[in-house]
Structure 1
Amino acid sequence: MERHVAEIRSFNRFYTRLIGVLEQRVLGTPYSLTEMRVLFELDHRGRTEASELRRLLGIDAGYLSRMLGGFETEGLVVRSRSATDARRQVVELTGKGKASFADFDERAAEEVRGLLADVSDEDRERLVASMATIERILAREPGTSRSYVIRPPRTGDMSWVVYRHGVLYSQEQGWGMDFEALVARITADYMDGYDPRYDAGWIVEVDGERAGCVFCARKDDETAQLRMLLVEPSARGMGIGTRLVDECVRFAREAGYRRMVLWTRDVLVGARRIYQAAGFELIEKRPAGDVVEEVWARDL
């Protein structure tokens, strides 16, 4: 925990310097960052109650009142009483206020364009995806639904499959490089023997990042094999594992297979629940060192 705290604080200091928050004024305007945020909210929300601005931005009522008074003196905002409740004050930008904010907004966009000018397209995608991840994790809004995309594998995905199996199962189960080597061999065999009539794979993306995978491979003329199911911890609880297994079963059935089998280990309780719910039955158990390997099967 303490290491994480230190790293987050270090990032905060870096990012604060980067965006110029330490400066008293923003992008050459006479306004502070907080003042610009108030103007931003008024520009995007239109006519807004002062109490709502306080709630959104966590600003002291007296501080906000003085700020709005200054904006009003400059002709940027106009304040009035609510038509439904005279106790409530509403605020909106004037034409001058809108023009002033539009000028700031363009300068801010130009600053970011300059920041990204020498950054590759790939790194830009990684940057915005990482920012989205930070926002999602720290927002702590469990009621917010997340969407995901399932797509066929692309160049580079198979290396990711091996890498994430190695790292994730090392962290969660203590399995070492022998397991990673096993996954690498399975992956290589899948690619070497790939036939789109009988083999298929699926990669899941959540918030633009790879978050899961599964593969259907030919075992023999009548039997398909479900292989390398993985769901990242950050994406668990979304039903992704179930969806991937369902896709695998559907493909195998449509490809003409009559049976599907899979290999797993008994400690992977979450995966075993998914397999059982999808109609698979345990048909074989065999000790393998410190683990127990299992074979599950179902008719198609």
Structure 2
Amino acid sequence: MTVQDIRAFNRFYTNVIGALDHRRHLHAPYTLTEARVLYELAHSPRTDAADLRGELSLDSGYLSRILTRFEQDGLVERAPSAQDPRRRRITLTAQGRETAALLAERSDQAVGSLLSAVPAADRARLAEAMRTIREILSAGRPPRGEDIVLREPVAGDLGWIVQRNAALYAAEFGWNTDYEGLVARIVADFAEDHDPHLERVWIAELDGRPVGCVMCVRDEAPATARLRLLLVEPDARGLGAGDRLIGAVVDFARGVGYRDLVLWTNDVLAAARRLYQRHGFVLTAEKPHRSFGKHLTGQDWRLNLTDAQQ
């Protein structure tokens, strides 16, 4: 392979992406860079301006102009960070979340249209080729936390949540198929009836494959959200995926106006419990029970979202 081979591929691929954007006006009235900033704000809990600048390798002045435009358009709000008043915390407004969702939907439709012209037998080969490019150009380095992307689910992801929860909890804790049934009901309820403005699912992706998930759904109690089905694959642990997934739920729940965020877990899930405590959750109740073929101690945890942001 030569330098010219890579440059030729770059020209080809940017032409493909550019043609999609031109035909469908995917990001109108925003540029591709502005759309990418919106994407990061919608999918990453790291919402300080400095984090955005580092993540996207943007000039500080350029990013400031983008955020000023977003603020004028009613898409974001800026305020001093609770951790460091010298930093600026950026959060999407309800209109900003709607705009980000619209741009994501347009992008999905455009890529779906592109893939519709690819024979089904070639799609797996195409996906593998893309993974190969990423792996080779990563120079064989081990995965890093910044390699993990949080995204919304696509077709097949909800089924993956059920399958991986069942398989991992069986392998690590010996839980039986009762747990798989519970997860399947939770996921089915979400798929059949949820409010996209108040309920969400996040998938943590690494090298093009899902490695984690979490859900935020409405609870029966007023102004209360419930965190459900947090999971991180064993080979992705230690990279901060669980911390980012919980942070995404907390930021989302607070942003849409919930006053409390609750969750139910079991005492054997020690690693998850430490993450909940790190985000400010407080244990409110414990009760022994027998479920999933095991004697367990169930735990209720609560986070007051109206407290000063942590």
- Structure 1 length normalisation: TM-score? 0.56
Structure 1 pair 201–143 and aligned structure 2 pair: CA distance change class (3 A): closer
Following the alignment from structure 1 to structure 2, what is the Cα–Cα distance between the partners of residues 134 and 169? 33
Aligned to 2:257: 256
Aligned to 2:277: 276
Q: Do the aligned partners of 2:134 and 2:207 also contact (CA within 8 Å) in 1?
A: yes
Partners of 1:129 and 1:209 within 8 A in 2: no
Q: CA 1:268–1:254 in structure 2 vs 1: closer, same or farther (change >3 Å)?
A: same
Contact 2:144 2:239 in 1 (8 A): no
Do the aligned residues in 1 keep the contact of 2:267 with 2:298 (CA within 8 Å)?
yes
1:191-202 aligned within 5 A: 191-202=191-202
Aligned to 2:246: 245
**Aligned residue identity for 2:239:** M
Q: Which residue of 2 aligns with 1:157?
A: 157
Determine if contact 2:286/2:300 at 8 Å carries over to the other structure.
yes
- CA 143–227 in structure 1, closer or farther in 2 if over 3 Å, else same: closer
**Residue equivalent to 1:203:** 203
Regions of 4+ moved over 4 Å: 130-136, 141-146
Closer/same/farther in 2, CA of residues 254 and 231 from structure 1, 3 Å limit: same
Q: Which residues in structure 2 correspond to 1:1-300 (within 5 Å)?
A: 119-126=121-128, 129=131, 141=141, 147-220=147-220, 221-289=222-290, 290-300=295-305
Cα distance in structure 2, aligned partners of 1:164 and 1:188: 15
Number of paired residues?
A: 186
What amino acid is aligned across from residue 178 of structure 1 in structure 2?
D
Whether the aligned pair in 2 keeps the contact of 1:263 and 1:295 (CA below 8 Å) is yes
SS at match of 2:213: strand
Q: What's the C-alpha RMSD, in Å, of the aligned pairs?
A: 2.8
SS of 1:120's partner is: helix
Give the percent of matched residue pairs that are identical in Structure 1 and Structure 2.
42
Query: Structure 1 residues 216, 120: CA separation in 2 closer, same or farther (over 3 Å shift)?
Result: same
Query: Quick one: structure 1 residues 143 and 157, their matched pair in 2 at CA, closer, same or farther if it must change by over 3 Å?
Result: closer
Larger Rg: 1
Deviation readout 1:120-166 (Å, 9 max, x if unpaired): 21344147648977999xx6x55967611111111211000000001
| Rounded Cα–Cα distance in structure 1 between residues aligned with 2:120 and 2:257 | 51
